[in-house]
Structures are given as structure tokens and as C-alpha cells.
Chain A
Amino acid sequence: MPETNDVIRLSIPAKPEFVGIARLACSGAASRMGYSFDAIEDIKVAVSEACTNAVSHGYKKNGIGQIQIIMECGNEALTLTVLHNGESFDANQALQKLRPIDPSADLDDVNEGGLGLFLINALMDQVTISTECGVAVRMIKFVTRDGVERIANKVSTTE
């Protein structure tokens, strides 16, 4: 089924005080698309985490850059891409390390950071990270919780 996405593009300075603006914009797009309160909150956290990573790691060495936020509003899903041209990282290594806090671990061994990517992964339905040039985090939230199945059903029943 061909689908034209409505696209919203936002560019914010990679500074902490602007992350809230990305959050507000994505929350606006999601609420327009009719997501539930919980799903909107998930989307807000996910986009904030991606922007926070860009602010904290992307431009640590090379001064301040911009973060691009692309919101693609489709019939079935909201796709958010957060990208920056700053410093990259080993995405495979980072993804392998994703885990919640081990409650049995010694308190001293619990890291204060590192939960951002874990949360993005837990709250969004599909996440891809590309680090070829800077970092691009692409996150998809389906309109319904069982969005994947709904799309699959649609394809099989209508064609």
C-alpha cells in the first residue's frame, strides 16, 4: 500500500536547554496522530534520550553543532530520526551492552549513565542506529501496540 508520510523537520542547537523543544514538537506530532497518553510519553522519553546522547557525546570535543529531528507521520507509525554530524560511537558494542540495572550488583558498580539507549530500545517498537557519518538514531512507534501484526494482517487480507 503506497503511503505518503507527512514530514516535520526540526533543527536544534546541540545544547541541553533545547532538548525540551524536541520533546515538545514530537509530543505534538504524536498527539495529533492520536497516540495514547502512555505512547506519547514513551515517544517523549525516546526522543529526549537520543538528543541527550547527541548533546553529551556528539559534540563533546568539537564545540557545538546542530541536531536534526525528522518526524515522519505515517498511517501506521510515527518514525523519528535524530541525527547529528558530531562524534560517532561503536553502535554494535553499545547495543550489546544494553541491559537494565542488575539489582543484585554492588551499588558501587552501578553506572549512573548508560540507561538512555536502553530506554529508547525498551520504549520504541523498532530502533536502528547508523554511525557511518555522525550518528543517526531511527525510532519507530506503531500506531497500535500490536502494530506489526496489524500491518501484516492488512497485507494478507487486502491483496
Chain B
Amino acid sequence: MNISIEREAKGEKIYLVAVEGEIDVFTAPELKKGLLPLTEIEDGKLILDLNKTKYMDSTALGVIVAALKSAAKHNCRFSVIGMTPRIKRLFEITGLMDLLTRAQISGGSANA
């Protein structure tokens, strides 16, 4: 049970991070390590792609909350794409979807 985290520069200060595999208590720290430094880029943009994420639980949601918080501090726009219906459901049940949407709206207007 492993994850592979692929980081791709999409432009100046713009990164796309794609996670393949299962995010749980074992692999979440690895995701945190790969993701958080990229949220600290002032006025940057970070996109998390979950298209190939086969499984996630609250440990992954915790990393995403941490990323949102850190991104907000550094005026970095953080967004999540490629959610499978299953993962979308977890975001919706926990209320994280609303938080993400709100962050994207406020992040967008702050940069406009």
C-alpha cells in the first residue's frame, strides 16, 4: 500500500500535484511533506489532482485542511481536481467541500 506523488511545474509559481494510490494513516505524512511546502509559495497556485487516488480517509482530509490553512496564510490559491464520486462524497459528508469552495472563491477574488 503505497502512494506516488508526482509534482509538475505548470508555470511560474504554479504546481500540479497528482497522487496515485491510497492515502491513509501510513501514507498521509508523505503527502503532507510533498504538499505543504508548495502552499508556502507567496502568491502561488497549487492544484491537487486526485484522479488516480483510489482510496482516502480522514487522514487525507486532515492534510488538505492543513494545506488550505497554509495556502491562505501565503496567499496561495489551492484547489482540488479529479475527485472520484467516492472521494467527493467524503468531502461533502465532512463539510470540507464547502470549505474548499469558499477558499477558492476568496482566493480568486484576492488575486483578481
Interface residues of A (CB under 8 A from B): 16-17, 19-20, 23, 38, 41, 44-45, 48-49, 51-52, 55-56, 100-103, 107-108, 110-113, 115-116, 118-119, 122-123
Contacts and interface: CB of A to CB of B under 8 A. Distances in A.
Contacts of A119: 57-58, 90, 93-94
The size bracket of the interface on B is 20 to 34
B110 interface: no
B24 A118 contact: no
Given A103-B95, A103-B102, A115 B62 contact: yes
Chain B interface SS verdict (over half)? helix
A107 B62 contact: no
Contacts of B69: 107-108, 110, 112
A125 B103 CA distance: 32
A45 to B, nearest CB: 5
Contacts of B81: none
Contacts of B65: 101, 110-112
A17 to B, nearest CB: 5
Given A38-B86, A52-B58, A52-B59, 7 more contacts: A16-B24, A17-B26, A49-B57, A52-B25, A100-B93, A110-B99, A118-B94
A101 B96 contact: yes
A17 B98 CA distance: 31
Given A20-B24, A119-B93, A107 B72 contact: yes
B90 A45 contact: yes
Contacts of B61: 115
A19 B58 contact: no
A121 to B, nearest CB: 10
Contact of B57 (A45, A107, A112, A122): A45
Nearest to A116: B58
B86 A115 contact: no
Interface string B21-60: 0101110000000000000000000000000000101110
Contact of A112 (B66, B90, B102): B66
B25 A16 contact: yes
A113 B94 contact: no
B66 to A, nearest CB: 5
Nearest to B32: A112
B68 interface: yes
Given A20-B24, A56-B25, A107 B95 contact: no
